[in-house]
Structure formats: C-alpha cells, structure tokens
Amino acid sequence: MNLLTKMNFQLQNILSINRNQNMKIWKSLLIVLMIVANFAFAQPSFADRPKFSKNPDYIEVTKALNELTQTKDAQTQVEGLTPEEIQKRTEELTLQKYALETGINWGQCDNQTGNTIAVYGKRPNNEDDEDAVYENNLYFLANGQSTKNNWDCDGIYLPNDVKVANFTSSPNGQGQELTGAAALKILDGTQLVIKTNPDNAAIELNVPTVKVVNSKEANWFIPDISQDIINTRVPNAPSNQS
C-alpha cells in the first residue's frame, strides 16, 4: 500500500507539473495574442498624418503669398490694392500658412452683424452619413455669438440681398465682385468676424482670404434666400454662449 500510495503521489506531482506548464504556455500564448491584437487595432495611430503640402488650401495660400511677396519686393502695384492692403494680406496669409503647417484643423466664425447668420459646419460627431446629400450642414448663429472652440466653422452663407464690402474672391486680392446668394469658405486657423457697416448695411469681414464656393465644385447647400428668412430661424450652431 505504501508503494502504491507513493506511486500515486508521484503521478499526481507529474500531472500537476504538466498542468502548470500547460497553464504557463497558454498564458504566454494569450499575452502574445493580446500584443498582436493591440498592434493590429492601434496601427492607425502610427500612420503618418496627411501632409499639409498636399492640402488644396495650403497650396493656394502658398501661391498667393509668393505672388504678393514678389510684388512687394519688386515694388509693383497690384490692381485694386494699396501697398497697405498688400502688407495686410501678406501678414494674414503668413499666419494662415503657419496654421496649416502646424495642423490646426478648425476655423471660428464670430457674428457681430446684429442679425442671425447662416454658417457651414460638419455634421454632429463627425459621423459620415451615406445618405447625406451635402458635405456639411447649414447652421444658424445668433448675433453676438461665436462658434464653439474646436468646432470647425467651414464658412458663412451670404443671402441674396446682402453685399460684402470691398470683397475679392482670391487670397492675393484679385477676383470678381460678389453678387447674389453665395457660400464663403474660410481657411482652418482663421477667426472670421462678420460685422455690418452702419452706413451702407454691407457685410464687412476682418480677413481678406475668404473664397467663394462654387456649387459645381463643392457639394454645399447654397439656397437663394434673403436675410429676412434667416432671421426667422432658431439659432442652432454650436457656440461658446450655448
């Protein structure tokens, strides 16, 4: 009996050792699988950020800045722009170029017009909706409000009965006058302040580098409506005051 007991005890020890070894093997395999899975799911975070040099806004700003710099260095006159306006545009473009280079990916709209204005922005939570008709949404921003920090205001809507004072449609100051309803796009890193001139009721913009969005080139909703209609809308743009 003693011999059988001893053999049984040794057998149990062997089985226990095997179980422990198997457990260690399974634990090791589990750790390896967790590491592999972590790299697999985290791979996008290691992906290279999109190069700003390929950003259309960056290309346009760089081109306009180079043109204005050459004009300034050569002391030549740009049609429709005074030397002071050229200097202001050069300074503005320099900061916008820097903003794009440093990865700032949102702009801000500040309404000081005395009326409700319409602004363009991304859909809630940046969710892609396969059924969405337009690239972004049209929101309404109350007077005295600015769009929320880190929420990207893509631009503003200009009603069919409102004009922009001293407006040109390209960053270097060249372009046609703006007539009729339109969408105006701003660059990332810009704080656009929109005011109303008390003398002629025209809209004034604090930055010269806004761009008219062509509905044939960009899928933006550009209705043909008046300012009176916009004033009847409930403000719903994400704002610092809301």
For residue 72, what are its two tokens?
């300034």
Q: How does pLDDT run across 54-63, given as a tens digit for each residue?
A: 777 788 888 8
Give Dmax over CA atoms of the chain in angstroms.
115
Determine phi and psi for 80, rounding to 5 degrees: 85, -5
pTM: 0.69
Q: How does pLDDT run across 97-142, given as a tens digit for each residue?
A: 888 888 888 999 999 999 999 999 987 665 556 667 788 899 999 9
Percent of the chain with pLDDT over 70: 65
Cα three-residue angle 101-69-76, rounded to 5 degrees: 160
Looking at the DSSP assignment, which residues form a beta bridge with residue 138?
120
For residue 156, what are its two tokens?
């503003």
pLDDT (0 to 100) of residue 47: 46
Q: How does pLDDT run across 137-152, given as a tens digit for each residue?
A: 999 999 999 999 999 9
Sheet of 203-205, strand order: 108-112, 191-196, 203-205
